[in-house]
Amino acid sequence: MQISHSEAVRLFPQGHALGDAFCNRENERERLKNCFLHNEHTVIVAPRRYGKSSLIRQTLIDAKIPGKRIDLLPATNVLFINKAIKLCFSELINQISPKTKNAKEKLIEFVKKLHPKLSLSFFGQKVEISTSQSPEESVIDLLAGLDTAAKKLSKRVVICLDEFQQAGLLKDHHSMEAAIRHAVERSTNITYIFSGSSRHLLNQMFRTKSRPLYHLCELMELERIKPEIYFPILSERAEKQWKEKVNSDAIQEILNITRCHPYYVNALCRQLWKMPHSPKIHVVQKVWFDYIETQTNWITDDLGKLKPNQRNILAALAYQPIEEPYSNSFSERVKIGASSIHKSLDILIENDFVYRDNDKKYKVLDPAIETWLNQIKYFDFIED
């Protein structure tokens, strides 16, 4: 059978999943859409590659609300945030503003403080702004100006500050966080969504009393997509792809072996869906192990940053997840005292190497690291 590789890449993207590549998350989409509509500012927290950005983008499409996602990962100073918000302002104001020059000129009245001007572009009249204040003052005025304009036009808009933990790491972060709080508290027509993968840093930003953003938002913790939700979606995609009866044990194996981690489900399926026939269990396993082999460099790099005790605990959890890591039996198994287990496990959890699943067991978070550790390679690695 002639199989299109680009279809496999489209259905199981490495980047953001949107449209028919986006699997379900109906409850989360509904909840987020309601936040967008009702001005409920929200922090979305989940480990890396769980699907935060895809969820935000897909919900913006679903809700048909003008919105802009700002990626703060590359932010190295507060000027970056200021520049990104300025761009966001121009884009959103152009999205919500009426089309005629006359109406645009009226709108400009509401945001006069920002020295707006109309310029002619290929797409027609565009509002541009220039500010000459400090980055923090400028952020306050831009966001207040956008909110006023949205209110006058009876429009709602959404601003998503993705990888927001970066803002908390900047020099002068306190005054920028205070500026953002000022804007968020006063906003009536802009909903703010903050998201990021460092639960630890985001907790510090939003849950520490001395920080400006304390108790400003609702919290939404994103979990993995459940196997009972993934299973019918993958089965349907497989039947459509190979037009033959699909081995349901193989589909189940995809979900077992990747632990339903969306990034790895996509990585594995992207390979499987390029094959001429629907996979059997042993093919799923072979493709997965081959894939893990190709990931060795970053895995050894990541494990190399851990202390021996932390690595031993991680390897033990990869071999067998456990509910009682402070018990004598686990302590004997890893040959580490209970108080050292405590300290090491805290660090492993803080850095997203380990998580506590809904079944209360402590598990290795990344299925690629888990598989790698279980393939004896761990012992080769520590002997090097």
Ligand X SMILES: Nc1ncnc2c1ncn2[C@@H]1O[C@H](COP(=O)(O)OP(=O)(O)OP(=O)(O)O)[C@@H](O)[C@H]1O
Q: Per rule CB under 6 A, is residue 104 in the interface with ligand X?
A: no
Helix (H, G, I), strand (E, B) or coil at 29: helix
Number of residues that bind Mg ion (CB under 5 A): 1
**320 touches, from Mg ion, ligand X, none (C-beta below 5 to 8 Å by class):** none
According to CB under 6 A, which one of 49, 155, 174, 181 is a site residue for ligand X?
A: 49
Beta-bridge partners for 161: 70, 194
Q: Which of 36, 45, 51, 202 binds ligand X (CB under 6 A)?
A: 51
What's the min distance (Å) between Cβ of 283 and Mg ion?
31
| Shortest Å distance, C-beta 86 to ligand X | 23
Question: Scanning residues 280 to 309, which ones bind ligand X (CB under 6 A)?
Answer: none
Instruction: Give min distance, CB of 55 to ligand X, in A.
Output: 6
By CB under 5 A, tell whether 53 contacts Mg ion: yes
Q: Which residues pair with 69 in a beta bridge?
A: 160
Residue 53 makes contact with ligand X by CB under 6 A: yes
**73 close to 130: Cβ distance less than 8 angstroms:** no
The only residue of 7, 9, 16, 83 in contact with ligand X, by rule CB under 6 A: 16
197 binds, among ligand X, Mg ion, none (CB under 5 to 8 A by kind): ligand X
- Residue 330 · residue 318 · CB < 8 Å: no
> What are the residues whose beta carbons fall under 8 Å from the beta carbon of 157, sequence distance 6 or more?
65, 66, 67, 68, 92, 95, 96, 146, 150, 189, 190, 191
H or E stretch covering 149:
helix 135-152
Binding mask 256-285 for ligand X (x = CB under 6 A): ------xx--x-------------------
Q: Is 224 in the site for ligand X (CB under 6 A)?
A: no
Residue 312 as a binder of Mg ion (CB under 5 A): the answer is: no
To which H or E segment does residue 20 belong? none
Q: Which C-beta is closer to ligand X: that of 23 or that of 129? A: 23
Residue with tokens 């991680």: 314
Q: Name which position in 36, 50, 89, 110 contacts ligand X (CB under 6 A).
A: 50
| Closest to 8 measured CA to CA, from 245, 241, 250 | 241
**Separation of CA 198 from chain center:** 10
Are 354 and 342 in contact by the 8 Å Cβ rule? The answer is no
CA triplet 243, 248, 253: central angle to 5 degrees?
A: 120
Task: Report the C-alpha dihedral over residues 334, 336, 341, 347, rounded to 10 degrees.
Answer: -80
Site of interaction with Mg ion (CB under 5 A): 53
Site of interaction with ligand X (CB under 6 A): 13-14, 16-17, 21-23, 25, 46, 48-54, 197, 262-263, 266
